[in-house]
Each structure stands twice: as structure tokens, then as C-alpha cells.
A and B are shown apart, each in its own frame.
Chain A
């Protein structure tokens, strides 16, 4: 027991450092900062480079890492985050995700993706309590965090800028009116957060013994949960959240095993959000608007699409490509179509209800597994399994998501992100083996396994999806859902139960995600949990943002650009992700409503 507790404390230490940075930036900018995740990986790699390659002593390498990470943080804030955060917190959040992709890849190009042995700068197992051995290294880490946290709290309490940080995070506009240099405050916060991220990265590497550029994502996500647990914006909360999560995680793994790690973390998150929707120490928002509300929708009107475009697009995508395209184009096309189906279904949640759910990989996985299992073990026909997969995905996802609709603002994004990861983690726990030989669709005994057949099936489903989406949008129901997204307070005042309509919108999106999952499963004929990643969820979101968050047909355009363009960039694997990140930033910067939406 004691050793589990100590392991949890050491772990919590790292989470606390990361969480303080995330909370700090959130407090002053109202932006969830994904780029912070990259600083974990980057800090570790820089420290490795300075110590192992350049031979610098640890005590010199550490401040260097902090300065570089802090400096990079400043550059990112000036060039990307602040210009967007001023008018669109959510766009800024997505751009921080793009920045983190760019940083991770740049770091991979610079240091290679190789795992590196981190030099043992201090003894790691010279001390012992009970059965648990630990080292001077661990004590120094805990001590450093303690000193830093005391220094931080003194700075925030008495320092000029520290007080300005607190004022800004309480009320940005009031702070501005009182003459507080909010820009400077935000820069300083970003620098501190980035440096803390780098420090946490070094600590992780010291503790684990191995570092690699992409190691930040998982720890970052957990630190993010720790910040949420403590209450976004509360620094004391972040520290408490970090240690609490570290210890709970450690005991959870002790009892349920390492494979349930992610489930444990997100169950804790969801329980806390239900019991205390603002986190342990956060403010509980009484009335708050969703981050998407009145931003994307208010920023512009969709371009008018001339009537002739529809039949032309139908002929081009539905007839011309299947007749003339080679198998490579058709296979890439099936991916484009499937993601278009999933994303078009998602517009009702993201665009109309104004909820940026980040966990679509969850319902996609449910649909894929249900459809595969029905056809494999119960001899269902694909055509029957397809709608059932959608229905089951909608029902299961709705039940699982039902507790989170009381949560507001960014918390809903985080909770759905967690939900998506937890669903896939549960599937991995229950069926770790992949499913093989999933039957291909048949038409009266003829197997439809050619790329053309897949393409046409997907095209047909996409057309139906778009028709359904248009029908929903123009119905009374669609208008009510839109009213929740446009102005939740006004909708509530008019007697619309926003919570229920958000849940309904989410269920509709989950239905189409499940359909998409089923189509994927029968075309791959093999699925396993590694296919349904967080990146898949984020791809769905970026497709929607790219095309126009409330436009089902925008999802088709977004899908063509993001999946098609990724294929075009195949010749340069190293730059691919970076170009992807850059495109995302540019779109969000210059067409914040999506490329089919005119700026207003």
C-alpha cells in the first residue's frame, strides 16, 4: 500500500506541474492549451540533447530547457494563440492543437522518433520506505515542485504582475479598464506555463528513464484532466488535482491493472464533473454560454450555393469518379466519403447545438464493433447490421454521455473527449484481440468487395445522410436545436430545455458516427482498438471546422480537403503533419467560420 502511495505521489508531482500551466493559461485567456502537451515531450528531448549529446551538466541543462520552452511559448502566443483568442476561444484551442502537432513533428525531425535513454543524473533507488525504493532524484523533484509552488503563490499574491494575472483571470474586461496590461499578463502566463511544461517533461524523463518526442500526449492529457479536476483557472486546485489524480491512478492500477489506466482517469473526471461541475476548487458557472455559441455562428453567413452546383456535384462525385477513377482514387475516395458521413452527422452537435464534442471515435468504434460482431457471429446481413450499428452507437453513447450535459463550457469538450477515450479503452479491455474476416457487403449473393462497390455504397449512404441532415435542419426540431446553440439563455427563457436538446443532437451525431464505423469495419475487414484514436476524433472536428461548422455539405468539402490533401502530401511524410497543422491554423485565422462561410 505504502509503495503504491509513494508511486502515486511521484506521479502526481508531474501532473501538478503540467496542470498548473494549463490552469494558468486558461485563467487569463480562457483557452485550453494543447500546445502545453508538446512541451512535455520537447522538454524531455531538449534535456536529453543537452546532457547526453552536448555533455552539459544537469544544472546548466535545466535552466536552458526552461528558457527555450518559455521562449517558444511566447512566440506561439504572439503569433497564433492571442490573435485568435481575442475573438474566438475555441479557434484558439484548435490552433493550439495544430501547434502541438507541429511541435511534436518538428521535434521528431530534429531528434528522430527514437526512444532515448535519459541519463541518470541523480541516484534513483538509494532510499527506501517499506518495500518501495526511491532515490535522491525523486526527493529533489518533489522539493523543486514545492519550492516552485510556494514561489508561484507568493508571486501571485504580492508580485505586481502576479496580481495582474489574478485580476485578469477574474475579469478580463474589468482588468483592461483598470489599466492592467492584459497582453503582457497573457504573455507572462504563457511563458510560465510553457516553462513549467518543459520542467514537467524533464521530470518525467528522469523518473521513467526513457524519453521520446511524442511522449507528451498521454501525460499531457492526464495533466489536463488534473487541471479540470482541480477546477480550470484555479492554481491551488491544479496542484491538488495533480496529486489527487496521481494517487488515485496509482491505486486504480494497483487494483484494476495498467490497461484500465485511461478508464480510471476518465471515470474520476466524469464523477467529479457530475458532483462538482466546476472542478474541486473552480467556480461553478451559473449561466454560461457554450464556447461555440455566438462565435462561429455570429461570425458570418454561408456562401450561397447556386442551385446548379448540387446536380453537378452529384454527377461528379457519384458518377464521374466511379466511372473514371482508378482503384487508388476510389479507395482514397471511400475514406473521404466515410469521414464526410461522420462529419456531416456531427454538424448538428457542433454547429446547431453549439457543443464541441471531442470524442467521436467512441461512437465510431461502437458502430464498427457492433456491425462486425452481428455479421460475424450472428450471420446478420450487412444491410441490416448497418442501421443497427448506428442505433446502438446512438443509444450507448447517449446513455454514457447523459451525466455530462449539466456541465458547461470547455468542460463539455473535455468530458466528451474523455468519454471517447474511455469507450475505446473499455473495448480494448474486453476484446483486446482484433476482429478478423469481417464479412464484406453482399448484394443477393454477389460480394461487393471492389473499390468501386465500396465507393458507391459509401456515396449512397452519404447522400442519405445529407438529405436527413437537411431535413432535420429545416424542421421545427432543427430550429429548436439551433436556438440552443445560438443563445442558450434565451432558449431557456423561452422554455426550451437546452440540456435535452443537446443530448438529442449528440445522439443524432453518434448515430452517423456508428454508421461510419460500420462502413469502415466492413471495408477494412479487420478492426482493433488502435484504429479508433483521439486523432480520429480530432480529425472529425477539424473536418467540420474546415468546411463550416453548421453546414452538412461543408463536411464533404472539409473531408475532401483534409483526407484528400493528406494523400497528396504523401511524398513528404515528415512535413505532412506540419503542413496539416499549418493549414488548420490558416483556416481558423482567416476563415474562422469555415471555408464555405463568408466573414462578416
Chain B
């Protein structure tokens, strides 16, 4: 997780720098304290206590993974400290959380319902599926996909639960494509999708691969070319705000060749928090009030962000179909 944490930190630091250059929150500079929980619930709980006990902290971003965020949630709730799980796509983070859990991440259910609809719209009638059999992510995502597929009449010829710690998926994949599906869906992250698409092609399956993630190992995998996913953030988007962010990010961190949805989400998150503080004030109570009131905060991921205060998620997030070509994801209109 270190590499992910590092790129998120870079995006936060850039956003903080820009906010403070622009005068901070009504003159108050913004600062972030980082703690590494290693996505380990044992540690995220301890970190949560540390943050709750630190009066200088008015809002917490994270944890990175839902499996570490959720165990820490009761502590943040008890400490009346807003826990902004900007990266937590597990619907349960907010659904089973309290008033103090908010997220701008699209839920896995929403994104895989979209995927099922999109595949059907492409004129495809049957898919083979692999999904990560993980509690915090893959299982709820697959359940949402399956329910939507049943509703719209998309046939799942076979679905195989897999683990991201495996590296040889051939026995599962030969099962998954035995029913000769027209296309293939993998519900998971970049590194596992890279292994899966490579091995899928190695066993001779040629249908379109709906899966993967804008992430270094997947983007560079030769067999991943032509993969299609729904994306929220697109580095190549012509949008002026997006390009301003991409330029500023690469200027500050010349070694970064790619800017992904992770960095964009973190950058957005800080700006959302700042917008809330400008409305409600910089105290813990003020930020909570601010989150309930903010509307149309400019976002490089969604265009603008407005919360649905009942779900504490973004109201109707949109996805754009994108295809991987020459190591970059571009909008797909096929």
C-alpha cells in the first residue's frame, strides 16, 4: 500500500499548497497530519483514537481501504470527528456508518450496475465473470452486478470468485470461459486484472475484457490493450480544470508520468473539505454542518460535487466509458 499512500499524499500536498497560496480558509492555513495505518484495522483503530484525542484535528481523510476505515468508524463517531472516506467504495462504509461517515467515492454497487447496463447496451448478451472474493469490496460489487444483469437479461455464463493473492488463475479462467461468453468481466483492481487478462489471452480467449483500473501495472500490460471500464476521472479529458490539475501535478512531481483517479480523488477531497470549512467553520461541528450544506463544489472527477445528505454519498455520480490504448485510457465511443 505504500506506493498508493505515497501518490495520495502527493495529491493532498499539492491541494494544500494551492489552497494556502490562495489564502487558506478565510486566512487560516490548512495543514495535514499523516499517520500510516498500513490498512491494518488493529492500527487504524489506534490511529483513530490518536486523531480524536488531538484537538488540532477537525476532519480525518481515510482510511485508504474500507476494511481499515470501518473498524475505526465508531471511534470517530464517538469523538464527533468527521471521517471522510474519500476512497471508500464499499457502500457499507456510509450505509452502516453514522452521520460522521462521508464519502465522495462512487460505490462499487453503482459502478458495477453501470457496467452491466453498458455491456448490454453494446449488444452483448453473455459474459464470463471473475470477481475478487473479498468482504469489503469484491463480493458486494459482484452481487450488484449480478442483480442488475438478471434485471436487464445479461447472461452470466459462469462466475468465479478469485483471490488477489493468487497469481495463477488459469484453472479458474478455463472454467469461466467454458460456456463461450461473448465478453469477459473482471471485478477487481489493477494488479489482479493485469494477471487475469494476461492469462485469459494465454489460454486463447479473445472476447472484450471489461475490467482493470488506471494503475501502473495494468496500464503497462501488453494484453490489457483494448480493455474497457467506466471511469470517473480521465487524465486525457479536454476539461480545463482537469488539465490544470494534471499540469500542476506533473510540474510539482516531475517523476510522475501518470495521473490517475486516485490522485484526482484525493485532490478533490481536500477541496471539498475546504469548501465545507468555509461554510461551517474550521471546528469539528462546523465541518459537519458544512458537509451538509455544500453544493456544486468544483470537482475534477465529477465536474461538481453535491452530497445526498441521506446517503452521505455523491448524488447520481456519472461514469464515462474508457478504453486502454497505448498505455493511456481514453474516452470510448464505439
Contacts and interface: CB of A to CB of B under 8 A. Distances in A.
A125 B135 contact: no
A530 B201 contact: no
Contacts of B223: 209
Given A133-B202, A212-B191, A257-B160, A531 B2 contact: no
A47 to B, nearest CB: 15
A428 B133 contact: yes
A15 to B, nearest CB: 11
Contact of A3 (B42, B174, B221): B174
Nearest to A262: B163
Contact of A526 (B38, B41, B190, B201): B41
A215 B161 CA distance: 20
Instruction: Label chain B's interface by main secondary structure.
Output: helix
B168 A208 contact: yes
A433 B135 contact: yes
A330 to B, nearest CB: 7
Contacts of A567: 46
Interface string B216-245: 110011110000000000000000000000
Nearest to B204: A133
A34 B114 CA distance: 45
A261 B163 contact: yes
A230 interface: no
Interface in A242-262: 249-251, 253-254, 257-259, 261
A437 interface: yes
Nearest to A111: B3
Interface stretch (A112-120, A172-180, A581-589): A112-120
A115 B190 contact: yes
B4 to A, nearest CB: 8
B217 A437 contact: no
B96 A250 contact: no
A251 B217 CA distance: 29
A117 B202 contact: no
Interface stretch (B18-26, B66-74, B296-304): B66-74
A218 B70 contact: no
Interface in A444-466: 449-451
B161 A258 contact: yes
Contact of A432 (B133, B165, B204, B217): B133
A115 B201 CA distance: 20
Given A259-B162, A432-B134, A531-B41, A210 B202 contact: no
A132 interface: yes
A398 to B, nearest CB: 27
A261 B3 CA distance: 28
Interface in A511-531: 523-526, 528-531
A573 B169 contact: no
A210 B201 CA distance: 15
A102 interface: no
B217 A117 contact: yes
B203 A210 contact: no
Given A108-B2, A259-B162, A449 B167 contact: no
A115 B217 contact: yes
A254 B178 CA distance: 11
Contacts of A599: none
A449 B49 CA distance: 13
B46 A332 contact: yes
A115 B202 contact: no
A342 interface: no
Contact of A335 (B38, B42, B167, B169): B42
Given A259-B161, A573-B38, A4 B174 contact: yes
Contacts of B75: 331
Given A208-B198, A259-B161, A434 B135 contact: yes
Interface residues of A, number: 68
Nearest to B69: A526
A210 B133 contact: no
A573 to B, nearest CB: 4
A115 B193 CA distance: 11
B219 to A, nearest CB: 9
A526 B101 CA distance: 15
B165 A218 contact: yes
B194 A7 contact: no
Contacts of A451: 49
A212 B215 CA distance: 14
Interface string B1-35: 11100000000000000000000000000000001
A113 B170 CA distance: 25
A444 B42 CA distance: 28
Contacts of A440: 74
B254 interface: no
Contacts of B71: 524-526
B49 A433 contact: no
Contact of B41 (A3, A4, A208, A524): A524
Given A114-B3, A432-B135, A530-B67, A125 B167 contact: no
Interface string B117-160: 00000000000000001111001100000000000000000001
Contact of A7 (B45, B167, B170): B170
Contacts of B190: 115
A265 to B, nearest CB: 11
Contacts of A330: 49
Interface in A162-207: 204, 207
A366 to B, nearest CB: 17
Given A433-B135, A573-B2, 6 more contacts: A108-B2, A125-B204, A135-B202, A219-B167, A258-B133, A524-B71
17 contacts: A3-B174, A115-B194, A115-B215, A132-B204, A133-B204, A134-B202, A209-B199, A210-B195, A210-B198, A212-B191, A250-B170, A327-B49, A328-B49, A432-B134, A434-B92, A528-B67, A531-B67
The 3 closest A-B CB pairs, nearest first, are: A115-B217, A115-B191, A528-B135
